[in-house]
Amino acid sequence: MNKTGFVLAALAASLMSTAVYADDINIKIGVLNDRSGLYADLSGEGSVIAARMAVEDFGAAEKGINVEIVSADHQNRPDVASTVARQWYDEEDVDVIVDVPTSSAALAVNELSAERGKVFLVSGAATSDLTGPACNATTIHWTYDTWALANGTGSAMVEQGGDTWFFLTADYAFGHALERDTSAVVEAAGGEVVGTVRHPFPGQDFSSFLLQAQASGASVIGLANAGGDTTNSIMQAAEFGITQAGQALAGLLVFITDVNALGLETAQGLVLTESFYWDLNEGTREWSERFAEELGTGNMPTMVQAGVYSSVLHYLKAVEETGSKDAEEVVAAMKEMPTDDPLFGPGEVRQDGRKIHDLYLFRVKTPEESEGPWDYYETLSTIPAAQAFRPMEDGNCPLVQ
Amino acid sequence: MFELLGITPQALFGQLLLGLINGSFYAMLSLGLAIIFGLLNIINFTHGAQYMLGAFVTWALLHYFGLSYWWALPLAPLIVGASGIVIEKLFISRLYHLDHLYGLLLTFGLALIIQGVLRNNFGISGLPYSIPPQLSGGQNLGFMFLPNYRAWIILVSVIVCFGTWFVIEKTRLGAYLRAATENPTLTGAFGLNVPLMITLTYGFGVALAALAGVLAAPIYSLNPNMGAELIIVVFAVVVIGGMGSILGAIVTGFGLGLVEGLTRVFYPEGSAVVIFVIMAIVLLIKPAGLFGRTA
Amino acid sequence: MAVDVQTTSNVAPVAQRGAKGMSTLHMAIFAALLVAGLIAPFFLYPVFLMKVLCFALFACAFNLLLGFGGLLSFGHAAYFGAASYVAAHAAKVWGLTPELAILAGTGAALILGVLIGSLAIRRQGIYFAMVTLAFAQMVFFFSLQAPFTGGEDGIQAVPRGHLFGLLNLRPDFTLYFVVLAITFGGILFIYRIIHSPFGQVLKAIRENEPRAISLGYRTNRYKLAVFVLSAGFAGLAGATKALVFQLASLTDVHWTMSGEVVLMTLIGGMGTVFGPIVGATVIVTMQNYLATWGAWVTIVQGTIFVIAVLLFREGIVGVISKWVKRPL
């Protein structure tokens, strides 16, 4: 067949297929996250698998929704994220971008999604600005945010008697914000902040700052940092016998992958807040085992990956409901319909774009308590959805004012 | 007991001790750079990556072969040093007739490759490595709790640094090396195998970096980027010290560790840049560096 | 100091011709590039093209210092990044029009160039590279901590605004032609500098500084001047990039950016007029296609570095220039 003939045939074929399935909706989902850096285990390929599982579990193909999933690595850089997102929206007709860990990258994509009128389902990013000053009518922040984690860990620690705090803060905007939010929670709960030290970002050696924290005599050392800085601080706190001497460490942005990297020997006793744990109940276990089989690295799903699954599922439900892929229409439907899935249980999407569900306060088990690989958490308490997230009126989101 | 700016002398002493530990790493790394620079006249940009490789090999020896820290202590520097020799033979040796800047660019490229490959294979979250049981625990010194492992770092680096200094300044082998540094052609004419000396020197400098990596493995986050930021600080250390003398590199390394330690107490916000500020001041007053000969 | 003997001998004839004005060959190439630049956005994604343009200007600015001043700076990200922060801040917070924002960014880069340059030129060769790197690291830490830079988030949602208060730059297509004009203007300006009497003195210093001193030139003044000019053009590129991507971020000031511009210049051909443009195009295109491959970008860039240094020191344009036996 010559070239023209081939093109004509292809054209005819595509015309025919549109004729047959006139009601089909073609959706293109872009999973944009970290595939090589600090958050690759937290999001990465696992998030792509989670999105694919959502499409399969929903039975999209049978319902006349053709879903294509593309993915890219943003290297945790806002400039790369914005370049990829631009190209996806402008050139490749991507309808919805999901995941996007790293606050700076998520804010960049959020901005672009607002401008291009596309749906943005955030799971990996932390900043509560996404449902605050930077909120956008077509963005939904799914899994967790800094306010929720600070609130969960902060108030729970004070409740358990940790009423004097010393902050180890990464010296840049993100660390400052985390420190500010947690201080407010601690003070509101009746605790007191006795001191703070700002460490350079990224840091290697935290011993000097940890000794200052120790000298302060505070009962809790709050780690207002993230990623490698947090794991380093925890390791060195163990080395200098700080936790053994009676001070508690509170990780304000720690994930199960960090605990896995640290090992229980070092991480034991750490208190943290997450919105999902694979071993919570029958539903999470069943899903997580399927997930782990697909992923094949031996890792269990993180809350970020679970959030990708849950958000894509709910998005597809809304597409089915509205029979359209118009961003505003679909997101309005997503906010209208209550959410429910085995991973996060019942919940809802608020007008400011915040998805709310229960959060859990966990304590990392000791090596003796742990019964097998990835058996890391003991549940201390459940924070009910209504109290877990920042009240809508405090967020300064222009959509709800 | 009097207090100085709200800090007791005991606490201050503790902080100085911590500064000394950081200084140990600066000293070992800048010593390696200085030795390589002395003979090869190149700035080894791969140094940070080789420090990181030392830590990774330590981890790999345990993970794949079950060899403990004590095996890694001699093996990792040997393995990484040997890889350094291969790099020198294959790549660097082809550049000696060119401007030194090409050596800098080449080693920069090599560093990118090494970091990229490890990032692809091991991610960046960091690998776990525990302090060997013989060195865990610590001593309560009254003013602070000093983990045994930190004391071990100071001990090893002081021995290695001054051992190296002794070999280079006081032994016959060192005399050959110094001769080759001063005038390679003449030294060659006296029957010494200068190219071999150059290769081995590069291997030794790299091994020093790897040894620092072994020491760092149990206490710092073990990830492919661990050397990348550190090496820039070490460059500044080298500029401050000037690369004229071995002793200069060692003293500057330990000294700047102390200065940085003090900054962390009195002005923690500035601790990331204090070494660069000192570098600017030294450049203004003594462009050749504290111990340097004018170029 | 001489960076590369071979390149140097290539460049010498340009100098003779340069005194009389632009050679016909160069004029033809510039014209061809301009035509290509004018029709490209009809076929390719304009944002990608604008990125290529910004980096082409950045690489040309860097090449002015390395290829013609003989000074290898490993900290050029400082000027590029600082200018992009200042331009972004000026456009977003002060509400300046784009041309004023870009001027503000360029001005900041010039000032920074004077501050750092006056210290850095006290050392030479490898030391100079390390010193510039260390200062760039200071700028990086400043950008990380200063309140106005937004830390890790950078300055986002920078408005592109209206050029001279009139022309709306929000459509990529419109902005493209403004960026094309800026880049072309910048590169032609650099070309003029290279071929001016000032450029001749620079070459004399690069070839043999003691001789230039003995001829009565205050070489440090010339070195500082070329340093500041190079920083200024790097700033112009950075400020423009901030408006294109509506974002100023830490990537722009990080030392890997300094490494990238060295790579662009090296692969294109240092000390050539058109090399940096070619180098920037190659590297930006490569990054674009490898973007989804994560760490492979780093590995490929490292490999190109090694190959370029070992086998290909003249760069792409350098090699072509040898074939056609004309300086390019």
Let me know: does B47 contact B227? Beta carbons within 8 Å.
yes
Pairwise CB contact (< 8 Å): C294 & A35: yes
A37 → chain B, closest CA residue: B124
- In A104-207 the beta strands, taken as DSSP E runs, fall at 119-122, 139-141, 164-170, 192-199
Nearest to B101 among C129, C145, C297 (CB): C129
Nearest to C309 among B102, B232, B276 (CB): B102
Distance of residue B236 Cα from the nearest chain C Cα, in angstroms: 6
Q: What's the CATH number where B88 sits?
A: 1.10.3470
Distance of residue C137 Cα from the nearest chain A Cα, in angstroms: 12
Q: What is the pLDDT of residue C3?
A: 43
Distance of residue A111 Cα from the nearest chain C Cα, in angstroms: 7
Pairwise CB contact (< 8 Å): B264 & A209: yes
* B155-159 contact pairs (CB < 8 A, 24+): B156/B24, B156/B211, B156/B215, B157/B24, B157/B25, B157/B27, B157/B28, B157/B212, B157/B215, B158/B24
Task: Find the domain containing C248 and state its range.
Answer: 5-253
C130 → chain B, closest CA residue: B235
Any chain A CB within 8 A of the CB of C151? yes
Distance of residue B264 Cα from the nearest chain C Cα, in angstroms: 15
Q: What is the pLDDT of residue A19?
A: 41
**What are the chain C neighbours of A77 within 8 Å (beta carbons)?**
249, 251
Q: 3-state class of A194 per DSSP?
A: strand
Determine the Cα–Cα distance for residues C162 and B163; give it in Å rounded to an integer.
66
Nearest to B269 among A198, A236, A266 (CB): A198
Number of Cβ within 10 Å of residue B142's Cβ equals 9
Residues facing residue A379 across a β-bridge: A362
**What are the chain C neighbours of B115 within 8 Å (beta carbons)?**
298, 302
Nearest to B124 among A37, A199, A212 (CB): A37
Look at residue C143 and tell me if it is in a domain. yes
Q: What is the DSSP string of C112-135?
A: HHHHHHHHHTTS-HHHHHHHHHHH
Residue A19 burial (10 A CB sphere; 0-12, 13-18, 19+): exposed
Pairwise CB contact (< 8 Å): B116 & C298: yes
Let me know: does A32 contact A84? Beta carbons within 8 Å.
yes
Which of B265, B262, B264, B258 lies closest to B6, judged by CA?
B265
Nearest to A205 among B11, B22, B128 (CB): B22
- In A92-206 the beta strands, taken as DSSP E runs, fall at 96-99, 119-122, 139-141, 164-170, 192-199
**What are the chain A neighbours of B150 within 8 Å (beta carbons)?**
207, 239
Helices (H) and strands (E) in chain A, counts: 14, 14
Which of C38, C17, C13, C27 lies closest to C181, judged by CA?
C38
Phi, psi of B184 (to 5 degrees): -60, -40
Query: Could you read off the pLDDT tens digit of each residue along chain A, which spans 401 residues?
Result: 444 445 555 555 444 444 444 468 999 999 999 887 778 888 989 999 999 999 999 999 899 999 999 998 888 888 889 889 998 999 899 999 999 998 889 999 999 999 999 999 999 999 899 999 999 999 999 999 999 999 999 988 898 888 999 999 988 878 888 898 899 999 999 999 999 999 887 788 898 899 889 888 899 999 999 888 898 899 889 888 888 888 889 989 899 988 988 889 888 888 899 999 999 999 999 999 999 999 988 899 999 999 999 999 999 999 999 999 899 999 999 999 999 999 999 999 999 999 999 999 999 999 999 998 899 999 998 999 999 999 998 889 999 87
Fold of the domain spanning A24-144+281-357? Rossmann fold (3.40.50)
Distance of residue C249 Cα from the nearest chain A Cα, in angstroms: 7
A90 → chain C, closest CA residue: C45
Look at residue B210 and tell me if it is in a domain. yes
Tokens of B66: 């079950």
B250-270 tens-digit pLDDT: 999 999 999 998 998 888 888
Phi, psi of C139 (to 5 degrees): -60, -40
Architecture per CATH, domain A153-274+359-388, reads as 3-Layer(aba) Sandwich (3.40)
Any chain B CB within 8 A of the CB of C135? yes
Where chain B has pLDDT below 50, the residues are 1-2, 295
Pairwise CB contact (< 8 Å): C45 & A91: yes
Kind plus residue range of the DSSP H or E element containing A251: strand A248-251
**What are the chain A neighbours of B131 within 8 Å (beta carbons)?**
239
Task: Find the domain containing B160 and state its range.
Answer: 9-108+139-285
Nearest to B100 among C120, C126, C296 (CB): C126
Any chain A CB within 8 A of the CB of B226? yes
Any chain A CB within 8 A of the CB of C245? yes
Look at residue B4 and tell me if it is in a domain. no
Pairwise CB contact (< 8 Å): C302 & B111: yes
Any chain B CB within 8 A of the CB of A345? no
Query: Could you read off the pLDDT tens digit of each residue along chain C, which spans 328 residues?
Result: 334 433 443 444 444 444 456 788 999 999 999 999 999 999 998 999 999 999 999 999 999 999 999 999 999 999 999 999 999 999 999 999 999 999 999 999 999 999 999 999 988 888 898 889 889 999 998 998 888 888 878 898 899 988 988 889 888 899 999 999 999 999 999 999 999 999 999 989 988 889 999 999 999 999 999 999 999 999 999 999 999 999 999 989 998 899 999 999 999 999 999 999 999 999 999 888 876 676 788 899 999 999 999 998 899 999 999 999 888 8
Q: 3-state class of A221 per DSSP?
A: strand
Chain C interface test: which of A73, A113, A201, A225 (most C C-beta within 10 Å)? A73
ipTM, 2 dp: 0.84
- Domain spans of chain A, in order of start: 24-144+281-357, 153-274+359-388
Tokens of B1: 């007991």
Any chain A CB within 8 A of the CB of C43? no
Tokens of B235: 């460059």
Pairwise CB contact (< 8 Å): B15 & A239: no
Pairwise CB contact (< 8 Å): A201 & C156: no
A223-256 tens-digit pLDDT: 999 888 898 899 889 888 888 888 889 989 899 9
Distance of residue C68 Cα from the nearest chain A Cα, in angstroms: 31
Pairwise CB contact (< 8 Å): A108 & C45: no
Distance of residue C150 Cα from the nearest chain A Cα, in angstroms: 6
Look at residue C192 and tell me if it is in a domain. yes
Distance of residue B190 Cα from the nearest chain A Cα, in angstroms: 47
Number of domains forming the structure of chain C: 1
Look at residue C110 and tell me if it is in a domain. yes
Q: Which amino acid is at A64?
A: G
Size of interface A-C (CB pairs under 8 A): 79
Look at residue C37 and tell me if it is in a domain. yes
Q: Which amino acid is at A20?
A: V
Any chain C CB within 8 A of the CB of B109? yes
Look at residue C208 and tell me if it is in a domain. yes
Fold identical between A24-144+281-357 and A153-274+359-388?
yes
Let me know: does A61 contact A3? Beta carbons within 8 Å.
no
Nearest to C45 among A37, A72, A87 (CB): A87
Look at residue B15 and tell me if it is in a domain. yes
Nearest to A261 among B125, B219, B265 (CB): B125
For residue A202, whether the previous peptide bond is cis, meaning omega lies within 30 degrees of 0, is yes
**What are the chain A neighbours of C138 within 8 Å (beta carbons)?**
none
Tokens of B159: 């021995």
Size of interface A-B (CB pairs under 8 A): 92
pTM: 0.86
B277 → chain C, closest CA residue: C138
